[in-house]
């Protein structure tokens, strides 16, 4: 009789899954970008957060989740893109373009060989509103140069 009391006691038995600091933290799923597909899908569909409409963010978005320490006490947090203010040279426009740029966009610009090539080869959903208008400016300038030649 005493063994069954000890088994159902709150201090020794915590159930199959358990709760609180006594449970193993290694088996639970942590918060990850893969567990939040709705924001990512919305960003790739062209709906970006407001700040990304004023710079080149390369499809990066705000992401929300929980900070989960060893105590398992969840605290809300957010992940923001790594954004830098930079001036980028446009060969076609022959001008410096001052804008906010995500670090991943800077890497992509380097890989493509410059701002104009990046704008030409990147999807519109990754460019955002600012990038699409900049692409149109570059295209207009190219058309004007071809006609003027």
Query: Is residue 16, in this structure, part of any structural domain at all?
Result: no
Give the range of the structural domain holding residue 122, as residue numbers without chain letter: 29-148
Asked if residue 34 has pLDDT above 60, the reply is no
Say whether pTM exceeds 0.75.
no
Q: Look at residue 27 in the predicted model and tell me its pLDDT.
A: 46
Q: What is the mean pLDDT of the chain?
A: 80
pLDDT of 50 above 70: yes
Higher pLDDT: 51 or 123? It is 123
Percent of the chain with pLDDT over 90: 52
Question: Considering the domain boundaries, does residue 2 fall inside one?
Answer: no
Return the HEC string of the chain: CHHHHHHCCCCCCCCCCCCHHHCCCCCCCCCCHHHCHHHHHHHHCCCCCHHHHHEECCCCCCEEEEECCCCCCCEEEEECCCEEEEEEEECCCCEEEEEEEEHHHHHHHHHHCCHHHHHHHCCHHHHHHHHHHHHHHHHHHHHHHHHHC
Give the best-scoring range by mean pLDDT among 34-43, 46-55, 114-123: 114-123
Task: Classify residue 75: in a domain, yes or no.
Answer: yes
Q: Would you say residue 127 lies in a domain?
A: yes
- In this structure, how many other beta carbons lie within 10 angstroms of the beta carbon of residue 122? 20
Q: For residue 6, is it within any domain?
A: no
Q: What is the pLDDT of residue 117?
A: 97
Q: How many domains does the chain have?
A: 1
List the single range of 27-36, 41-50, 71-80, 120-129 with lowest mean pLDDT: 27-36
- Rounded to the nearest 10 degrees, the angle between the axes of helix 37-44 and helix 124-148 is 10
Q: Is residue 81 part of a domain?
A: yes
Does any domain span residue 18?
Answer: no
Q: What is the CATH number of the domain that holds 138?
A: 2.30.170.40
Instruction: Note whether residue 122 is domain-resident.
Output: yes
């Amino acid at each position: 009789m005493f063994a069954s009391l000890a088994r159902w006691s709150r201090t020794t038995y915590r159930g199959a899954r358990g709760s609180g600091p006594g449970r193993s933290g290694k088996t639970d799923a942590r918060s990850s970008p893969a567990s939040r597909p709705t924001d990512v899908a919305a960003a790739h569909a062209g709906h970006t957060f407001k700040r990304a409409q004023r710079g080149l963010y390369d499809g990066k978005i705000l992401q929300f989740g929980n900070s989960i320490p060893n105590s398992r006490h969840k605290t809300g947090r957010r992940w923001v893109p790594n954004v830098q203010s930079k001036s980028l040279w446009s060969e076609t426009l022959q001008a410096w373009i001052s804008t906010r740029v995500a670090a991943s966009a800077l890497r992509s610009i380097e890989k493509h060989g410059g701002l104009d090539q990046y704008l030409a080869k990147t999807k519109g959903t990754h460019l955002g509103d600012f990038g699409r208008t900049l692409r149109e400016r570059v295209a207009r300038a190219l058309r004007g140069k071809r006609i003027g030649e």
